[in-house]
Homo-oligomer: A and B are copies of this chain.
Amino acid sequence: MDLTGQHILSSDQFDLETLDALYDTADLLVSVAKGRQLIRILEGAVLASLFFEPSTRTRLSFDAAFMRLGGAVSHTTGVVFSSIMKGASIADTARVISGYADVMVIRHEDENAIVESAQASLVPVINGGNGAGEHPTQALLDLYTIRSEFQCLGREINGSRVALVGDLKYGRTIHSLIKLLSLHQNLTIVCVSPPHLTCPQVYLDLAAKAGHRIEICADLCTGIAGCDLLYATRIQAERAGEDVLNLAGSGDFRITKAKLNAYCLPHCVVMHPLPRDSRLGAQDLAEDTKADPRLAIFRQSDSGVPVRMALFAHVLGIAKKIAPSLKNSVWSSK
């Protein structure tokens, strides 16, 4: 599917062919994301970045992606915008700002706000995360990372065993990722979570309908044993509300070095959308896993920039102009 001029609202929009095209562009842009090459193709273009719900990392990743294509970014952040307080509708706000920009990224706690914004907008809207709904660019960079990691290991995604761990109920990242994983073949998806935070049935049905095997598991060690991919998530206290209180008796979901060594295969790829809760005793991926080469979490966050660059390139119809426009940078880079 040609993404030129399209809104990017959900992982549902992507088929494997579209993903292949997008990831080919991302591959071209990795050296730009690292500062080794540069490209100025979007000089003169403006991104309006509207983070009604804060997310420093996601916002800065979009910034870097647009800026490294040569474009300029205009922001607004914070739960309460001045005009929204005065009774302005999200549709009016989106329509007005779309008149200033060439593309908008919106993050909003309300699941419907981004769809309403897209309907009112003159320019493409990219969903930067909407409440418990979706986070499609996170899913895109996750799958890009899985592909890269599996390729380095000489393995296939099709047929692999995938453990999804943590808060599978409110974790929108997981929901968007299940949709993209389901485009592949013959996966075993193991949903590992406390009983109060199991994955909504709609996503399980979607994966099952696509021919994948689903396993539900409330015990961490059993769930991650023998998986090719371990995708961990944080128990998000701010979304889970009362459910977290019920977590007390739910067993241990802390992923430690000892558990990785005891239960995970040598080729297992360990991912996490970050931020993780690094505090001692948090039900999350522990700091002591730091030196484990299976940990792909920072290669994963790094890949957010080339993937988001590729998305901008396709939505703005310039993907085919990338390769001939690359130049070497002159500054000291990583």
Q: Which residue of B lies closest to A333 (CB)?
A: B102
- Say yes or no for A70: interface residue by CB 8 A criterion: yes
In Å, the complex CA distance between A276 and B83 comes to: 8
What is the size category of the interface that chain A forms with chain B?
35 or more
In Å, the complex CA distance between A274 and B96 comes to: 9
- Say yes or no for A112: interface residue by CB 8 A criterion: no
In Å, the complex CA distance between A218 and B134 comes to: 49
Q: Which residue of B lies closest to A331 (CB)?
A: B316
Residue of A35, A56, A67, A122 with most chain B CB atoms under a 10 A cut-off: A56
Chain A 301-315 interface residues, beta-carbon cutoff 8 Å to B: 301-302, 304-305, 315
Given contacts A82-B54, A234-B86, contact A60 B74 (CB under 8 A): yes
Copies of the polypeptide in the assembly: 3
- A294-334 interface mask toward B, CB cutoff 8 Å, 1 = contact, 0 = none? 00001001101100000000011110010000000111111
Given contacts A67-B72, A73-B74, 4 further A-B contacts (CB under 8 A): A35-B44, A72-B73, A86-B234, A88-B278
Across the A-B interface, the 3 shortest Cβ-Cβ residue pairs: A38-B44, A87-B277, A88-B275
Jot down 19 A-B pairs with beta carbons below 8 A, ordered by A.
A38-B45, A45-B329, A46-B64, A46-B67, A54-B82, A56-B76, A63-B100, A86-B277, A87-B234, A87-B278, A89-B278, A89-B287, A91-B278, A96-B298, A99-B304, A100-B304, A315-B332, A316-B332, A318-B332
Q: Give A residues with C-beta under 8 Å from B.
A: 4-5, 32-33, 35, 38-46, 48, 54-57, 59-61, 63-64, 67-68, 70, 72-76, 81-83, 86-89, 91-93, 95-102, 122-123, 234, 236-238, 274-279, 282, 284, 287, 298, 301-302, 304-305, 315-318, 321, 329-334
